A and B are shown apart, each in its own frame.
Chain A
Amino acid sequence: MQIRTTNAHVRDAAYAMPAALFMALLFALPLFSVLHQSLQQENGGGLTIQAYAKIFTTPLFLRVAYTTLEVSISATVFSLLLAYPIAYFLAKQSPRRRALYMILVLVPFWTSSLVKSFSFMVLLGQSGIINQMLGAFGIAPVKMLFNRFGVMVGMSHFLIPFFVFPILTSLRSQPLELAKAAAIMGAGKLRIFLRVTLPLSLPGVMAGALLVFILSLGFYIIPALLGGRQDMMFANLVDFYTREALNWPMASAVAVLLVAAAALAAMLLSKVRGGSSILSEEGH
């Protein structure tokens, strides 16, 4: 039994080899190089944790860390509020219709962030389509671009599909009889939602929230194009240190911390019920 299991493990591992090799060359190796870079001194020389020490005392870094957290959390909440009704609606459709509507959910997912960001600039700009329409009603232009609002719009637009699917999965895995039983016991629609459907979908919500949060931490194009100066996030800070300050150890240290934060959140994700199904097929 023990031997068979071990053999099975070896065999399963063999299937994962090509992907593992690919990841080793194109992900792990560069990551190590970044880690190594982050331990360099600014002007060359031996290994040091100087960059990390400096980071935690730099006001810019602390401000960006705070912004990253704030933006990621609010983008997660904002996306949840938009994604839950979509998932709920999808769960109630016939399989045919659901497949059709799912494509609609996925369209933004298939479009490049860059293209989407420029589209939002056209939509949300000072003389963009929305403000022109408001102007037609005599309403003064509203600033929707180069601020937090623009970032939220762009980010949730990108993140919603990542939220819809885990929620949809947990809604669809609920036995139909539960709502039926509750109705026959006398529960109205609102009570059924609040006492049965919603609590049973929380694992999906948790899994989706962590996934979306992790993705949010690394956003780069959207804050750069749709946000203002004060919306700088971790990835933008990396960009700043590499291209403007030309301080590669600092850039690398920020990158390493970003990866560490994401890894921590991913570990949490594997701990929540329903979350493991996002990370691996067999986690039920």
Chain B
Amino acid sequence: MTDSSGAKAAMIEISGLRKDYGSVVALHDTELSVPTGEFLTLLGPSGSGKTTLLNLIAGMASPTRGRIVINGRDVTEVPAEKRGLGMVFQNYALMPHMTVSENIAFPLEIRKVPRAEIRRRVAEVLDLVRLPHVGDRKPKELSGGQQQRISIARCIVYKPDLILMDEPLGALDKKLREQMQLEIRRIHKELGITMLYVTHDQEEALNMSDRIMLMNARRVEQIGTPDQLYFAPRTQFAADFIGASTLLDATVAETGEPALLRLSASESCRVRLHSAAPVGTVGKLLLRPEALRLVQNGQVTAGHNVLHGHLDNTLVTGATSKHFVTLDNGATLAIQELTDPSTTRLEPGLRVQVSWPPETGRFLEN
């Protein structure tokens, strides 16, 4: 679906949306625009307002204020059953008294689809979720992963404009979860349906999303592509929540390209500032483990930053290894490198240096 300018039309347009329960704010004023066909993930810790936002969009709760426009239609006052959306729940929400086929046929019956077509479409979606032979079974005769596939099938069978998923893989074990992530991505690609996906698992969000909306304390923290959130977090919360990270206390000592950060009385480093922070600004320096190098005997590349400390231990996790270092200022950090036999046998307690190029560090104001 494209408008005359060729740009993608928005499937969801949310403005000034807020939800209070008495004196409790469940969602602070929120703006959001989701282009048609996008896979957007709402990511955030438990209690950050993800379900509240999803329920407002689904029509299961009414907002205290604000507007929700779906596919060009203002649905703020429209009841859930008239919004024409799809939703997948963590606990599958399959009707236990109906067979798998009856479950999938249910939304089609509501839409008064003729019997023969119902039969054809049920078979079609069962194929799509790769469970063609379970139509006559009851949901409880299926495994958790299979039940979730059926609940996805029940959703896509009536071709809603938008599918909402609230932690759909939360009840599955890790291996199955990864399999289902791929499956949901495949279905999204094949059908091109806009999906709004909720999870508290940052890895899942990074794996699946076109864009991630990070939520914290019942408001939007940052919204962007997985790359943007990983490499350019705008807040300490975002840096900490997504990916592994070390955050060191830092103060801007000199502005410029690159700027100078003071880390302690005797230590400083260079960093590219992404915002105009004047001298004296207090914050944290974000270092990702894979951007750091363990150095012995001071063989530091020219122009790279360096901090001194001693090695606590080294973990070989396969293709990569992790070194844990305590810096002289007392802070600890992790370094992740491709496994190299010359650095895996280092003695704990050894004096080492940690180095990184100025462009990989990131200063985040308090």
Asked whether A184 is an interface residue with its Cβ less than 8 Å from the other chain, the reply is yes
A residues near B, CB below 8 A? 175, 177-178, 180-188, 191, 195-196, 199-200
Q: Which residue of B lies closest to A177 (CB)?
A: B93
C-alpha gap A177/B106 in the complex (Å):
15
Which of A181, A187, A195, A200 has a CB less than 8 Å from the CB of B87?
A181
Interfacial residues, chain B to chain A (CB-CB below 8 A): 58-60, 79-87, 89, 91, 93, 95-97, 106-107, 110-111, 154, 158
Chain B residues with Cβ below 8 Å from A180 are 60, 80, 87, 89, 93
Q: How far is the CA of A178 from the CA of B86 in the complex (A)?
A: 13
Contact A199 B97 (CB under 8 A): yes
- Assuming the A-B contacts A177-B89, A180-B60, are A185 and B107 also in contact, with contact meaning beta carbons closer than 8 angstroms in the complex? yes
Q: Is the CB of A178 within 8 A of B93?
A: yes
B110 and A184 form a contact (CB under 8 A) = no
Quick check: B80 and A184 within 8 Å, CB to CB? yes
14 interchain pairs, CB-CB under 8 A: A177-B89, A177-B91, A180-B89, A181-B89, A183-B81, A184-B83, A185-B81, A185-B86, A185-B107, A185-B154, A185-B158, A186-B81, A186-B84, A195-B95
Q: Report whether B158 and A184 are in contact in the complex, using a CB–CB cutoff of 8 Å.
A: no
For the complex of A and B, 8 pairs with smallest distance between CB atoms: A181-B93, A177-B93, A185-B107, A183-B80, A186-B110, A184-B87, A183-B81, A177-B89
Extra A-B contacts (4), CB below 8 Å, given A177-B93, A185-B158, A186-B111: A175-B93, A180-B60, A183-B59, A187-B110
* A199 to B86 CA separation, bound complex (whole angstroms): 23
How distant is the Cα of A182 from the Cα of B93 in the complex, in angstroms? 9
Chain A residues lying within 8 Å of B79, measured Cβ to Cβ, are 183
Among A175, A184, A191, contact of B91 (Cβ-Cβ < 8 Å): A175
Of A183, A184, A188, which one neighbours B86 at CB under 8 angstroms?
Answer: A184
Q: Which label, helix, strand, loop or mixed, suits the secondary structure of the A interface?
A: helix
Q: Given A180-B60, A199-B97, decide whether A186 and B91 contact each other with a Cβ distance below 8 A.
A: no
Cα A54 to Cα B191 in complex, Å, equals 77
* Inter-chain contact A184/B97, CB cutoff 8 Å: no
Contact present for A183 and B93 (CB under 8 Å): no
CA distance A183 to B164 in the complex (A): 14
Contact (Cβ within 8 A) A200 B97: yes
Residues of A within 8 A of B83 (CB): 184
Instruction: Give A34 to B77 CA distance when docked, in angstroms.
Output: 69
Q: Complex formed: what's the CA distance from A191 to B111 in Å? A: 12
Q: In chain B, what residue has the closest Cβ to A185?
A: B107
Specify which chain A residues have a CB less than 8 angstroms from the CB of B87 in the assembled complex.
Answer: 180-181, 184
Compute how far the CA of A200 lies from the CA of B83 in the bound complex, rounded to whole angstroms. 26
Q: In the complex, what distance in Å separates the CA atom of A180 from the CA atom of B107?
A: 13
Contacts of A185 in B (CB 8 A): 81, 86, 106-107, 110, 154, 158
- Selected from A186, A188, A200, the residue in CB contact (under 8 A) with B107 is A186
State how many angstroms separate the Cβ of A167 from the closest Cβ of chain B.
Answer: 16
Interface pair B81/A178, CB less than 8 Å apart: no
- Chain B residues with Cβ below 8 Å from A178 are 93, 95
Closest to B166 in A: A177
CB closest chain-B residue, reference A181: B93
Q: Tell me which residues across on chain B come within 8 A of A181, comparing CB atoms.
A: 87, 89, 93
Residue of B at shortest CB range from A189?
B81
In the assembly, what is the distance between CA of A180 and CA of B95, in Å? 11
Return chain A residues, CB-CB under 8 Å to B95.
178, 182, 195-196
How many whole Å from B149's CB to the nearest CB in chain A? 15
Q: Whole-angstrom distance between the alpha carbons of A180 and B60 in the complex?
A: 7
Which chain B residue shows the least CB distance to A200? Answer: B97
B81 and A188 contact, CB distance less than 8 A: yes
Chain B hits for A188, CB < 8 A: 81
Residues of chain B within 8 A of A200, CB atoms compared: 96-97
What chain A residues lie within 8 Å of B82 (beta carbons)?
186
- Inter-chain contacts of A187 with B (CB < 8 A): 81, 106, 110
User: Within 8 Å CB of A184, what residues of B?
Assistant: 58-60, 80-81, 83, 85-87
CB distance B96 to A182 under 8 Å? no
CB distance from B53 to the nearest CB of A (A): 15
Distance, CA A260 to CA B263, complexed state (A): 88
Residues of chain B with a CB closer than 8 A to A195's CB = 95, 106
Task: List the B side residues contacting A191 at CB < 8 Å.
Answer: 110
Please name the residue on chain A nearest to B110 by beta carbon.
Answer: A186
Inter-chain CA distance A122–B58, complex, in Å, is 54
Instruction: Give complex CA distance A182, B80 in Å.
Output: 10
Closest B residue to A192 by beta carbon equals B81
Scoring B59, B79, B106 by chain A CB atoms within 10 A of each residue's CB, the highest score goes to: B106
A196 proximity list for chain B (CB < 8 A): 95
Docked CA distance A188–B109 (Å): 12
- List A contacts of B60 (CB < 8 A): 180, 183-184
**Chain A residues, Cβ within 8 Å of B110:** 185-187, 191
Residue of B nearest to A174 (CB): B96
* Closest CB in chain A relative to B82 CB, distance in Å: 8
Chain B min CB distance to A184 (Å): 5
Most A C-beta atoms less than 10 A away, residue of B79, B80, B84: B80
Interface centre among B81, B82, B84, B107 (most CB of A within 10 A): B81
Q: Which residues from chain A contact B84 at a C-beta distance below 8 Å?
A: 186
Within the complex, what minimum Cβ distance (angstroms) separates A207 from chain B?
16
Query: B80 to chain A: which residues have CB within 8 Å?
Result: 180, 183-184
Q: State the CA gap A188–B83 with chains docked (Å).
A: 12
Closest to A203 in B: B97
Q: Which residues of A contact B97 (CB under 8 A)?
A: 199-200
Q: How far is the CA of A162 from the CA of B209 in the complex (A)?
A: 53
Q: Provide the bound-state CA to CA distance between A181 and B81, in Å.
A: 9
| Residues in B whose Cβ lies below 8 Å from that of A175 | 91, 93
Q: Name the B residues within 8 Å of A177 (CB-CB).
A: 89, 91, 93
